[in-house]
Structure 1
Amino acid sequence: MKKKLASVMMVLLMLLNTPVTGGGIAYAEEQTGDVTRSGLLGIAKHFHIFANKATLKAHTAGNVAVGDLDAQSNFGTIIKEGTLKLDISYIQNAKFIQSNSFVNSYGNRKNKAVFGENVQLTLVDNGNKVAANGNKLDHLNKDEIFQDKNGNQYINFAEEFKKLKNSSDEIATHPQTPSVEKNFDDENNRYFDVSKVKTTASGTVILTKTDEDGKLLDDVVFDLYEEGNNSPIKSGLKTKNGKITVTDLEKGNYYFKEVTTIEGYDVDSSEQKFSIKDENLGSGSTIYLDLTKEEIEKDRPIIIKGIDKNGSNIIVNVDTKNAQTINIGAEIKLQYTDGTDRSNHETEDFSDAVVLWNFKNRASNQVININRARFQGSILAVGNTVEVGQNVDGCIIADTVNITGGESHRWDFQEKNGNNGKPAELTMVNKLKEVPTKPEKPKTDTPDRNLPNTGDTQDPFLYSIILGISGLGLILLGNWKRKNERKERS
């Protein structure tokens, strides 16, 4: 009897600790109602934190997609307006997960938590709950948990970050949009005003610069003209990765003119013409702002004014100048055209999340510290470590994210990727400079041994005449002698 009871107890223990085998989804876009890959940020724009590594030590009000997660504090998108129906997180490897992580399903809200194959998922509490690496997940139901299997990965971080780097590099080529007012004269009232920027349908042109072998050429400088206007509408455009991208062009005729090229190549000063036609016009435009490392580090607020809710995307290119560390000191404030100011807060309404910060000219293993002032807008910092010690609202996309203080709030970037129009494209080829050939040395004639040597006084022609005259004289003299001899005989 004791043996039978022991056997039953063993079976029950095995059942209660059976690994969860549901899920096994390779890519998010393969699932109905799941996240989809699109636009510049791809899958990443659906997550509050998207990183290879993340450590959470302070309240994180948002979902995560992380390769290696250490969640000492709770995370999950808080239910506020009740508009978010599915809160998705992906944890490929877990060092630790707080038991009160994720947010309980309620009303229309459901969860989907996907774990990597290396995370041990077991049933606990009589099979009603699931533990991850021994830590019970109090806020998740069994049917909300999925797991990778057969070597498949719900998200391939290496592939996603490769695409994100390309997006960051492409964004970095855009200069500040004309009509943006940037006024930092008053340190206590530093602002961008984007209200005067045209956001009507506009087009994009992409110029590609190569040599005759198809090699992409960087640092070639161009000016852009509109036909009929002798003054450039954009000056000093420089190729990066062999390309120049210009947005916000109205319908019309334009041309590029090369100003300077790189050493070893000829400047092509011809007009490189193109047109923006109906097929090139998109349904809106992106507004680009330029900011320097020094400007964002100064402990004075930066205000972005004139933001249209549900309007154009605003992308801020921050030139980090290859610095190893960026210490953000400026509080970021956002003002909308309806007169409202946005403050950091928890929300499920992402419709006004149109601001993205792109950190360019990054050093290897660069660290961005947000410890001195509150920050608003999604962060694209591929390859970087982002240290968060203040309130941050937006997507945080980086190699490593550490939430150590304040609160971070999900606020998904709403990329406007509807009808972007077909870009006008043209390619220019630079020719190598011709290397001038060295003049040949004059040939020295070999003296003819039959001719008089240098220094002889005889002229060959004169010598021939003298010989001829001498011969004729001898003939005449001979004839004269013969005549005289006949006379003497007679």
Structure 2
Amino acid sequence: MFKSKFVNLSLISVLLLHLFFPIQVIAETFLPQDPGSVYDDLTGDYGILGIASQFHVFAKEKTTINAHTEGNVATGVLSATNNFGTSISTGDLNKEINYAQSVETIISSAETAAFDKRSNKFIVGSNNVITTENDKIVVNGTRLDHLSVDEFYQDREDAQYIDFNKEFENLMLTSNMLMSLDPLKTYTPDDFPDMNNRVIDCTNLVGDQPYVINVAASVLAKNTPLRINNPEGKVLIMNVVDAPTSFSVQSQIQYNNRSNHQTEDFSDANISWNFGNLTEKLEINAPFQGTIIAPCADITVNQSQDGTIIGKNVILNATTNRWDPNEIFTVPNTHDDTTDTTSSSTESSTSESSTEPST
């Protein structure tokens, strides 16, 4: 009996010790691999948007993720209170890269675990504290459960995986150049007499691609859908002209009867919206399809969006999906003079009107 009481007292003592002095998981110091340069990994010719086109979000300063983000991120500072990473797996995307120079907030479920058809490369800047715990990476105190040690990299003090200053200098030049191209057509609100059936039809456009179309910002400020018909999958640049420095998109963008959805098949991602360098604040307040080029803007996405998002700062308050744009190659102002450049009115090639609702 005495022995039994002694054992019980010993067990109680151990429990009390654990209560007041809990067992701590020891994080091991760890030096991640050197990532090298983004140009070692992305070696293709990605057109005038360059490597930015290979990321769902490409932000010079900060990306804030408040909603599920179905894609990868390259950013100066990352604050992610929700998960991100391309989770769908059909075999079209064989590698996903994420880069954050400074990790402010991240959750354990960030990124999608690798599988037999896709690998991951996750890179952080040299100022972050990296350790390991049970063979998992710990970033500034948060363990990342979906990444292996072999998939994690860290900048060296004298190098950066992506030079955002350089990339955004080029993106600003690109945005200006796109704005300077002669448009095949220009659309204003007057070109859409039926506000409930607004259509831009690209079927009969001819000339060199990309096809440049100017759209007045006031068109996108309307709260009815804008449908883009591009059945032949031509590469489109939609220059948003005359936008104020602070602008909100209120029009749902419907593209080829496509719905917003997660995918790793980007073959039909051939529409980009260029907001230029004068837009400082941009809000997306309706479902949107197409890459957003606004290198000087703080972009807030409040509705579902598919495509690359290029901005100074990016805030995601709604589900967004990676949809990398097809490569854009330009030769300035070389469109055929015989191209149909008539503005839309009642012709079917410019603004369709019917009794059926937009789809």
Query: Do Structure 1 and Structure 2 share a fold, with TM-score over 0.5?
Result: yes
Q: Which residue of 1 aligns with 2:283?
A: 369
User: How far 1:178 sits from its partner (Å)?
Assistant: 5.4
Instruction: Name the counterpart of 1:136.
Output: 143
Identify the residue that residue 300 of structure 1 maps to in structure 2: 224
Assess if the C-alpha contact under 8 Å between 1:180 and 1:194 holds in 2: no
Contact kept in structure 1, 2:133 and 2:143, CA below 8 Å: yes
Which residue pairs with 1:345 in the alignment? 261
When Rg is computed on C-alpha atoms for both structures, the one with the higher figure is 1
Quick check: 1:388 aligned with 2:309?
no
Other-structure match for 1:157? 164
Q: Matched residue of 1:140: which SS?
A: strand
Q: Distance in 2 between matches of 1:168 and 1:30?
A: 25
Correspondence 1:106-125 to 2 at 5 A: 106-125=115-134
Tell me the distance in 1 between the aligned counterparts of 2:239 and 2:146: 39
* Equivalent residue letter for 1:346: Q
Going from structure 1 to structure 2, the CA distance change for 1:291 and 1:421 (only over 3 Å counts) comes to closer
The equivalences for 1:318-329 within 5 A come to 318-321=240-243, 323-329=244-250
Q: Distance in 2 between matches of 1:388 and 1:304?
A: 20
Q: CA deviation at 1:290?
A: 1.1
Once the two structures are TM-superposed, the CA of residue 121 in structure 1 deviates from its matched residue by: 1.2
Match of 1:407 in 2: 319
Amino acid in the other structure paired with 1:157 = F
1:71-95 Cα shifts (integer Å, max 9, x gaps): 1111001123221110111111010
CA distance in 1, matches of 2:82, 2:44: 28
| Cα distance, 1:48–1:148 mapped onto 2, change above 3 Å | same
Of 153, 167, 181, 2:174 maps to 167
Aligned to 1:342, what secondary structure does the other structure show?
coil
- Pick closer, same or farther for the CA change 1:122–1:37 going to 2, 3 Å: farther
1:18 to 11, 26, 29: 29
Q: Which gives a bigger RCO, structure 1 or 2 (Cα 8 Å, sep 6+)?
A: 2
2:323 corresponds to 1:316: no
Within the alignment, does 1:66 sit opposite 2:101 as a pair? no
Residue 290 of structure 1: aligned partner:
214
**2:39 corresponds to which letter in structure 1?**
E
Instruction: Tell me which amino acid in the other structure corresponds to 1:332.
Output: I
Q: Amino acid of the residue matched to residue 295 of structure 1?
A: V
Instruction: Tell me, in whole angstroms, the C-alpha distance in 2 between the residues paired with 1:163 and 1:111.
Output: 27
Preserved contact between residue 20 and residue 123 of structure 1 (Cα < 8 Å): no
Contact 2:185 2:213 in 1 (8 A): no
Q: Specify the alignment match of 2:19 in structure 1.
A: none
CA offsets per residue over residues 29-59 of structure 1, 9 Å max, x none? 124xx36564211110000000021110100
Q: Would the aligned equivalents of 2:181 and 2:333 in 1 still touch at CA under 8 Å? A: no
Following TM superposition, by how much is the alpha carbon of 1:415 offset from its aligned partner in structure 2, in angstroms?
1.2
CA distance in 2, matches of 1:81, 1:102: 17
- Distance in 2, Cα, partners of 1:82 & 1:62: 15
Aligned match of 1:100? 109
8 Å CA contact 2:187–2:215 kept in 1: the answer is no
Match of 1:262 in 2: none
Amino acid across the alignment from 1:409:
N
Offset of residue 113 of structure 1: 0.4
**Which residue identity does 2:146 align to in structure 1?**
H
The answer to whether the Cα contact below 8 Å between 1:307 and 1:334 also exists between their aligned partners in 2 is no
The correspondence of residues 217-232 of structure 1 with structure 2, limited to 5 A, is none
Compared with structure 1, are the counterparts of its residues 386 and 102 closer, same or farther at alpha carbon in structure 2 (3 Å cutoff)? Answer: same
Q: 4+ runs of 1 displaced by more than 4 Å?
A: 178-183, 420-424
Matches within 5 A, 1:228-307: 248=208, 285-307=209-231
The one-letter amino acid of 1:410's match is: R
TM-score (norm 2): 0.81
Identical aligned residues as a percent = 35
Does 2:227 correspond to 1:186?
Answer: no
Counterpart residue type for residue 41 of structure 1:
L
Q: Secondary structure at the match of 1:192?
A: strand
The one-character-per-residue Cα deviations of 1:401-420 (angstroms, maximum 9, x if unpaired) are 0012x210000011144xx6
1:192, CA displacement in angstroms? Answer: 0.9
